[in-house]
Amino acid sequence: MTQLGPFLLGAPWALAALLALPVIWWILRATPPAPKDIDLPSLRILEGAEPREETPARTPWWVWLIRTLAVIAAILGLAQPVYAPGAKTEDAGASGPVLIVMDNGWPSAPRWGELMNAATATLDGAERDAPVHLLLTAPQQLNANPAERMSRTDAAKRISSLRPLAWNTDRKDALERLRASGLRPSRIFWASDGLDSGSGRAFAEDLAAIAPMTVFAAPPRGPAAITAITSETDSVSVTLRRADPDGTERAFVSAMTLDGSALATAEVSFDGGATEAQADFTIPAAALARIARFAVTGRQGAGTVWLWDSADRSRRVGLVGAGADAQPLLSDMHYVRKALEPFASITEGDIETLVAESPDAIILTDVGQILPEDAERLAKWVEEGGALIRFAGRAPCRAGRRFAARAAAPVFARPWRGARLGRAAGAGALPGDVALFRPHRTGGCARDAASACPSGSGPCDTYLGAPCRRVAPRHRGHPRHRHDHPLPHHGGAGLGEPCLFQCLLADAAPVHRGWPRRVDRRRRRRLHAEADPRRLWPPLCARPGRRAAEGR
């Protein structure tokens, strides 16, 4: 494109044909006008008559002028002029490779169509033969090499086949990949998701340093993500964030079950200038248990979905009452209730009632003597997947020897909120001191584990078992693994989460001396693999302590 006044000339060299105008003019002048067609029957008379002067009449001047002007107009037309006042001509290097950078992380999902359109429009604007390169900012295992050359049509196909990913972009990594590829683009188009994410500005500057860059960066509309969730016994509040604080906005959050049906919908409204808003749900506890996720209605992408599971969920806990107490403030029940109240819905009753209700967990405070029928029921319930938590106070220790031979006695554990309850309960009600459990070598899973470890004076050693979320079927109900190892024992009923915490009495330990480490390791690996604090209970790991081994 060459600029000539307010015109852009697509083929300026065509103007050189104007030099040939004098020749054309001469030829046009020399060409006689078209003869008039006349019928004359007596023409035969003139047969053989030669005209004396055959010099044709000259073209009239106005015919010549019109023809010359037509030639000039044709030449100007071939120069492809475009009337574009104030247009800037592009650099000569604009025909080089075009690099298209696309943010394909989760923030792009709601307006993925816009990004694709913008990228495709850039392709249309690019030179016909310019190679196109593609750089995707979200990290992926087999990410596209930006050095790969694509034709325009291939790139369009490729772009239309892309989908946004569920995780965030890593622009630094993308820049590294671009540098490593050694690509020298002459033009860059960045279809950004509109979120700075802490690296956007630097990324843009780095890209602009490589080549002239165009950015598509309209601020995203609507809520961008669910950032937090807090739950009470019968209420949940979901916190949403948005990127653009201007204007008011409304959105709806749905609480959905596993099969995708919405149990409740709450409205969120962002005030002008606010980037955060809350959606409050009031849902009965029984219904709350069925909720699997929260999602913003009508918004695509992973950002606006919150998977809701055991980490946030309030549980139904059954407390086995110890009957009337003269000093309620000193009773075990009181502290357990106090500790659990904000997080769980608590039912009190005797073992028979509680087992019939089948809560998420049954807690036995310092209960030593259990009726044989109740013990049967408890054992059955546990085998079917119930979680039984037992505090190992004096009473169990007294009764320990009697029970140890038959079945493991439940032990204290508090899976949700670390060692606080353990300490409190241990300080008041447990015979031994409470110490932090030595973190397991392999890290993660023992993070929150606490051990209520009786002192050496106690008649028994107490261990914490780690909850086992899922156990491979072959372990289920296997006689060898059923009662005779100290790790949490799955009930085998296939209910998923409930676990049994066992207490090993000192004289029960020999049974486990030969416990296979291989199994232990395998199971631990499984636990580690699933060690996501949002999806699992804080795992508690335990293994036979040194003292137990030495005690033999």
What is the closest distance, in whole angstroms, from the C-beta atom of residue 25 to another protein in the complex? 20
* Interface pick for another protein out of 5, 19, 23, 55 (rule CB under 8 A): 55
Report the run of H or E that residue 77 belongs to, with start and end: helix 61-78
d(CA 411, CA 464): 7
Residue 524 tokens read as 């631990």
Total Cβ atoms within 10 A of residue 222: 18
Among 23, 52, 62, 514, binds another protein (CB under 8 A): 52
Measuring CA to CA, which residue among 349, 359, 350, 229 is closest to residue 285?
359
**CA separation for the pair 68, 86 (Å, rounded):** 31
- Site for another protein, residues 299 to 328, rule: CB under 8 A: none
Check residue 38 for interaction with another protein (CB under 8 A): yes
Q: Taking CB under 8 A as the rule, does residue 259 contact another protein?
A: no
Question: Of the two residues 55 and 457, which places its CB atom closer to another protein in the complex?
Answer: 55
Distance CA 525, CA 365 (A): 32
Decide if residue 49 touches another protein (CB under 8 A): yes
Taking contact as CB under 8 A, which single stretch among the options 28-36, 86-94, 376-384, 514-522 is the one that binds another protein? Answer: 28-36
Residue 129 touches another protein, criterion: CB under 8 A:
no
Q: Please tell me whether residue 61 binds another protein under the rule CB under 8 A.
A: no
For another protein, the closer CB: 38 or 529? 38
Q: What are phi and psi of 17, to 5 degrees?
A: -65, -15
For the chain, how far is it from start to end, CA to CA, in angstroms?
A: 93
Are the C-beta atoms of 308 and 269 separated by less than 8 Å?
no
Angle at 500 between CA 494 and CA 503, to 5 degrees: 155
Among 42, 141, 327, 457, binds another protein (CB under 8 A): 42
Residue 46 is a binding residue for another protein (CB under 8 A): yes
Examine residue 44 and tell whether it contacts another protein (CB under 8 A): yes
Tokens 């004098």 — which residue?
22
Phi, psi of 113 (to 5 degrees): -60, -40
Does 39 contact another protein by CB under 8 A? yes
E-strand stretches of 387-506: 387-390, 409-410, 435-436, 450-451, 489-490, 499-500, 502-503
The residue count of the chain comes to 552
Nearer Cβ to another protein (49/209): 49
Closer Cβ to another protein, 49 or 142, answer by number = 49
User: Closest approach of Cβ 55 to another protein, in Å?
Assistant: 6
Kindly tell me which of 30 and 405 has the beta carbon lying closer to another protein.
Answer: 30
Toward another protein, which CB reaches closer, 56 or 93?
A: 56
Q: Which of 40, 92, 209, 329 binds another protein (CB under 8 A)?
A: 40
- Residue 30 near another protein by CB under 8 A: no
Contact 390, 409 (CB under 8 A): yes
* Least Cβ distance, residue 68 to another protein (angstroms): 20
Q: Do 90 and 186 form a contact (C-beta atoms < 8 A)?
A: no
Cβ 48 to another protein shortest distance, Å: 9
Binding stretches for another protein (CB under 8 A): 32-47, 49, 51-57
